[in-house]
Structure 1
Amino acid sequence: MDRQDALIRLTNTQINNLTQDININLRNIEKLRTELEELKADYAEMIVASRKNQSTQNKLMFILSSRNFWQAYKRISYMKQYASYRKKQGTQIKEKTITLQQYNAELLKKRKEKEQLIITNRMAQQELDTIKIEQNKLVDELKRKEKSYSLQIIKKQKQSDAIDKEINRIIREAIAASNKKAGKNSLNFVLTPEAKALAASFSSNRGKLPWPVEKGVVSQRFGTQRHPVVRTTTIKSNGVSISVPPGSEARSIFKGKVLNIVQFKGSNPIVLIQHGNYITSYKNLSRVYVNKGDNVNSKQPIGIVFTNNENNKTVLQFSLFQNTTPQNPANWLYQMK
């Protein structure tokens, strides 16, 4: 719709410019016609006077009747100048006639251009009106269904919150297990020297970590935001959603160990991978390649992303935690910002 508006503004500007050019041409044509009529009138008077005295005898008598040689010379010069002036007048009439014809031709061309632009403008306006009508219909339809959509979004948000709560519970249980093993009491992972080194390596790669898919586009970002369709509804995400081609594989973003593979009611399998005190979560898989306790490497495929047959969308939901605190993946993955 913005393009149609821009096209209409452009054609209106061009029409206005052409109208100005046409008006200038009309003034020039009128001026030339006046000058041409004056030249023709002068030329006609000159021709009449010339015919009255056009005989060779009259010209000769005019010269011979001179009182002296100097007067005869002046009369001969006058006759030459008069003949030259007649020729010049004829040339001017011819040139102004040609110029007038050119102005007329240019005027005709610009009028045709203006007519074509008006047609183009009218078509663009009709197309814009059609788009606006369709847009208004869509807006009205969305408004009618907004409540229904909002309820669906709220329902999905509750499901997502429940899954995030379960993931948080699993991570807390893993933290408790590490504490029990180390004989300590902490809200965070108690790490072995090897796990500390892994966590430090993971942290040092902040902003340089590979994406959890080979190719994809972020369709939902981290944090609280307005729903992209129902703008009156707010949604919250502990990670990012990445739209990928059907059949795409999910892959580990760093070396680590499969902490758990879980599937909750109403969801597809989820793989949790531990990297020291960092946990990465890969949701919405249709098939899983790894098992709980497996060691994985960076970019190693861990499963296939699920494709929804109803809307043909293939979306991986990826989250990253430091202990139990959600992190914005855009701060960690390479050029996600």
Structure 2
Amino acid sequence: MVTVILKNSLFVLLLISTGFVWSQKKSDQLQAEQNKLEKKLSTTKSLLDKVKKGTESSLNELKLIENQVKNRELLVRNFDNQIRSAELTISSKSDQIKELQKRLVRLKEQYKKLLIYAYKHRNKSAKMMYIFSSSNYFEAVKRTAYLKRLSEIQQKQFKVILQNEKTIHKEINTIKQEKDHKKLLLEEKIVEKQQIEKDKTAKQLALEKLRKDENALMAELKEQERQKAELKRRIKLAIEKEIAEAEAKAKKEAEKRASLASKSSGSSSASKTTASSSTKEVTFTDTKENIALGKSFESNRGKLPWPVAKGSITENYGKNAHPTLPNVYTNNNGIDIGAPKNSQVRSVFDGEVTSVLNIPGAGKVVIIKHGAYRTVYSNLQESYVSVGDKVSSKQAIGSLLADEEGNLSTSHFEIHQVVEGTVQRINPTLWLAQ
């Protein structure tokens, strides 16, 4: 019976330590999420400070304020989750402590009985009499082993009680620390809520300023859509041209090989016919190196670095509601990232520069090949690379144009995939590290 109690006590200790590790992992995840949100808030605040130096409100300012409000709300939600997690942990540990205390009572009662027994049989001669009164030798050996085991159990019981008490005190101290941390989170939560209200007020003021000149906004929007359409067209033509040139090169090399093969076989008419028919069947296949690079690019989905070191997304991929004009939507083939004025643009992965374009309204455009994938960087005022250059991840490839207000720059970034000769656009947000 005593042995069973010992095993159960050790099981409880294991259960507590496992629960503690699980709750710690959950806490670490929430803390990591909090750190990311606070970093985003810091970046957006820095950009907003630059924008506000201008005399007039801008769409960039409004978009950045919206990002700030959204991230602060996410941060408040994160605080709520951390508080709930702490409360659940405290509740769970309280139950575990109660269970430990019940088991301590039982262990102490058992220990008490063992002490009474030991006291009654403390006489050394009594132990000897107990052994010598055995009916045979084997029974005497068993009684000796029993007395030895009884002594060991007494010592183990004492150690288990001490260990349980130590665990309880440690858990209580941990709970107190979590309660203190919870209070700090509550205070931070109140501050964040107040800041959200200030940001929403600032957003409303910016909105009212921009709505005063709706006609100018509509004209600006139409021009932007025209520039986007031209950018889309030029990017598509550039990638298709690159694919066509690669296919032509592959076909030419295949014809050359077929011609050499026909000459080596005696230039017979039959072999020429065979060579001619084989060149017609040539289809473009990428090199092993490029195929491997494309697979490596795929494996880094969700982990790619941003095309700028610091920035905040001001327009997402696909359909976007205009921040000031009701029932007006824009369509983005990539994402727009607000960044400090004239920021450096960098390649998000190893690759080869296949195109450097100059498009009115989009500045210079760099296209980089990563196997079957292409990344596009536009709105550059200067390009540091040329067609054919090999680039590495995070290598600077150019600098951004300044926005009209002159306080920020906007990086436009796209990802495309070539599938069986056709070009397909992909949502870059799903590929960049968050």
Same fold at TM > 0.5: yes
Residues 315/136 of structure 1: CA separation in 2 closer, same or farther (3 Å cut): closer
Contact 2:250 2:284 in 1 (8 A): no
Residues 246/151 of structure 1: CA separation in 2 closer, same or farther (3 Å cut): closer
Tell me if 1:213 matches 2:312: no
Aligned ranges 1:133-282 → 2 under 5 Å: 139=208, 142=211, 145-183=213-251, 190-282=285-377
Q: Distance in 2 between matches of 1:321 and 1:153?
A: 25
Residues 333/153 of structure 1: CA separation in 2 closer, same or farther (3 Å cut): same
Gaps of 5+ in 1: 1-127
Aligned ranges 1:1-337 → 2 under 5 Å: 139=208, 142=211, 145-183=213-251, 190-308=285-403, 310-323=405-418, 324-335=423-434
More helix by share: 2
The amino acid that maps onto 1:172 is E
Gaps of 5+ in 2: 1-197, 252-278
Residues 185/321 of structure 1: CA separation in 2 closer, same or farther (3 Å cut): farther
Contact 1:271 1:281 in 2 (8 A): yes
Contact 1:175 1:190 in 2 (8 A): no
Shift of 1:182: 2.6
Shift of 1:326: 0.9
The amino acid that maps onto 2:350 is K
Match of residue 57 from structure 1: none
Q: Distance in 1 between matches of 2:239 and 2:343?
A: 27
Q: Distance in 1 between matches of 2:285 and 2:205?
A: 58
Larger Cα Rg: Structure 1 or Structure 2? 1
Contact 2:210 2:324 in 1 (8 A): no
Shift of 1:247: 3.3
Identity value in percent: 35
The amino acid that maps onto 1:157 is E
- Residue 213 of structure 2 aligns to a residue whose secondary structure is helix
The amino acid that maps onto 2:291 is K
Contact 2:362 2:380 in 1 (8 A): no
Give per-residue Cα distances to partners, 1:97-126, cap 9 Å, x unaligned.
xxxxxxxxxxxxxxxxxxxxxxxxxxxxxx
Give per-residue Cα distances to partners, 1:10-50, cap 9 Å, x unaligned.
xxxxxxxxxxxxxxxxxxxxxxxxxxxxxxxxxxxxxxxxx
Residues 240/189 of structure 1: CA separation in 2 closer, same or farther (3 Å cut): farther
Q: Distance in 2 between matches of 1:228 and 1:300?
A: 34
Contact 1:178 1:190 in 2 (8 A): no
Match of residue 45 from structure 1: none
Two-structure CA RMSD over aligned residues (Å): 2.9
Match of residue 99 from structure 1: none
Residues 181/306 of structure 1: CA separation in 2 closer, same or farther (3 Å cut): same
Contact 1:189 1:277 in 2 (8 A): no
Aligned residues: 203
Contact 1:199 1:275 in 2 (8 A): yes
Q: Distance in 2 between matches of 1:169 and 1:302?
A: 21
Match of residue 83 from structure 1: none
Shift of 1:139: 4.4
